[in-house]
Structure 1
Amino acid sequence: MNVFVARMRRYFSLYLLFSLVISNAFAQRDWKLVTESQGIKVLSKSAPGSRINALRVECEVKASAGALVAMLLDVKAAEEWVFHTKSCDLLKKVSPSELYYYSEVSMPWPLSNRDFVAHIRVSQDKVTKVVTVDAPAVPGFVAQKEGIVRISHSEGYWTIKPLSAEKISIVYTLQVDPGGDIPAWVVNTFSAQGPLHSFRKMKLELEAGKYRNTAAGFIVN
């Protein structure tokens, strides 16, 4: 009986592993290339339960993982490189690798501006040195403001893989519902412009060495 149970557990584990590999393969094929420029790819796919497509950005940058993490944690600097960011302010620093920030996003007339509070958490695999940055929108901290639409659902996730001491591979996924009365087809049609613009400016900042001497010290490059 014990041998039978052990075999069944083994077969079940192999089945789960096989299913995961297959599902991941299909998930990868779901992404469709929307645009590509200067080594930056922006892909899109439908998101279950949402009118708004999920986005995926892929690129390589001549910088260290620690430099990119330092840039992401420098929330005020987002006003300079993140597309249509009107303001970005630190709300609470929990630790060197965790913080909360508030951001207001400018929208073209006649649309109302959007805002959100995000919770950033950075972690690194000790073996592979791969860094992940989870940055979902969270409720609280800042009361809703008149005339500004609060974004209640936003999931941003960074995977930063070191390719060498001074080169990294970046995969960024984003699924956000801007709320309000913006037609979904409008959002889906123009949503790739923001990531492409932001990543161009991000690459320029990093490759110019702005964060080379202020790289996050808790990241092992």
Structure 2
Amino acid sequence: MYKTFSIFFYLLFQVTLAAGQGKWQLITEKQGTKVYSKEVANSKIKAIKAECVLNSSASQLVTLLMDVPVAEQWVFHTKSCVLVKIISPSELYYYSEVSLPWPLENRDFVARIRVTQDPVTKIITVDAPAVPGWVPVKKDLVRISHSVGLWIITPLDKEHVKLEYSLQVDPGGVLPAWLVNAFAAQGPLESFKAMKEHLLLPKYKNASLPFITN
């Protein structure tokens, strides 16, 4: 059950830069993925950052991140993930529920994904903070109201990118911060492993997006 806590807090699939104090401290490294944590101002829950190099083009990875329903298959402990509204090819809103073991209540949230690319450096950011509204608060679910994080995708060549993901979240409800912090490294490792497997699927392998320059 402790592992489940850690997975949940890292992988809510939201994304805006995690602001905090102190320096990033490496807490684990496995299968090419490094996971860091650091103290955050006015919060007992530490920010988390994970990074790795992927055998993927930028378009492949962004296509996977924008494929909302598929998050149920690779974002660990995601019970459901539903598209709410498409604003443009590079911006959308989605709703997701994250499962927690009994007797804890499941969490849910609405997030906005927005993709931008620097025309000079070609670095891509995928920003998806939790947002209010869009879906009514549901009985027996704790609504996540604050989550900030950011995917930073740096193309290395046509077939490789460096991926960095940072997150700081307030899960709401009653959950011990010491437990979240103690096991926070396990979630990123599980989901990054599943992400790598999904990127090999034909639907992503040859992906091309009009708003992304690989």
For the superposition of Structure 1 and Structure 2, which TM-score range results when normalised by the shorter chain? 0.7 to 0.9
Alignment check: 8 A CA contact 2:22 2:40 kept: no
Gapped regions of structure 1 (runs ≥ 5): 1-26
- Structure 1 residue 109: deviation in Å? 1.4
Gapped regions of structure 2 (runs ≥ 5): 1-19
> What is the TM-score when the length of structure 2 is the normalising length?
0.87
User: Any residues of structure 2 matched to 1:172-211 within 5 Å, and which?
Assistant: 172-208=165-201, 210-211=203-204
Alignment check: 8 A CA contact 1:151 1:178 kept: yes
* Greater strand content: 2
Letter in structure 1 aligned against 2:90: S
Give the SS at the match of 1:143: coil
- Structure 1 residue 213: deviation in Å? 2.4
> What is the TM-score when the length of structure 1 is the normalising length?
0.85
The worse-fitting range, judged by mean Cα deviation, of 186-195 and 130-139 is: 186-195
How far does the alpha carbon of each residue in 1:39-88 deviate from its partner, in whole angstroms, 9 at most, with x for none?
A: 00110001111111000001000100111000000010000000100000
2: distance between equivalents of 1:151 and 1:109?
A: 18
Alignment check: 8 A CA contact 2:111 2:130 kept: yes
Identity of aligned residues (%): 61
How far does the alpha carbon of each residue in 1:173-193 deviate from its partner, in whole angstroms, 9 at most, with x for none?
A: 011111111011111112222
> Which is greater in Rg?
1
Aligned residue-pair number: 195
Alignment check: 8 A CA contact 2:59 2:208 kept: yes
1:213 equivalenced with 2:206 (yes/no): yes
Alignment check: 8 A CA contact 1:68 1:215 kept: no
Partner residue, 2:47: 54
- Structure 1 residue 218: deviation in Å? 1.6
1: distance between equivalents of 2:121 and 2:172?
A: 38
Alignment check: 8 A CA contact 1:118 1:136 kept: yes
2: distance between equivalents of 1:124 and 1:184?
A: 35
1:92 equivalenced with 2:71 (yes/no): no
Over the residues paired in the alignment, what is the CA RMSD in angstroms? 1.5
Partner residue, 1:141: 134
Partner residue, 1:155: 148
1:127 equivalenced with 2:120 (yes/no): yes
- Structure 1 residue 194: deviation in Å? 1.5
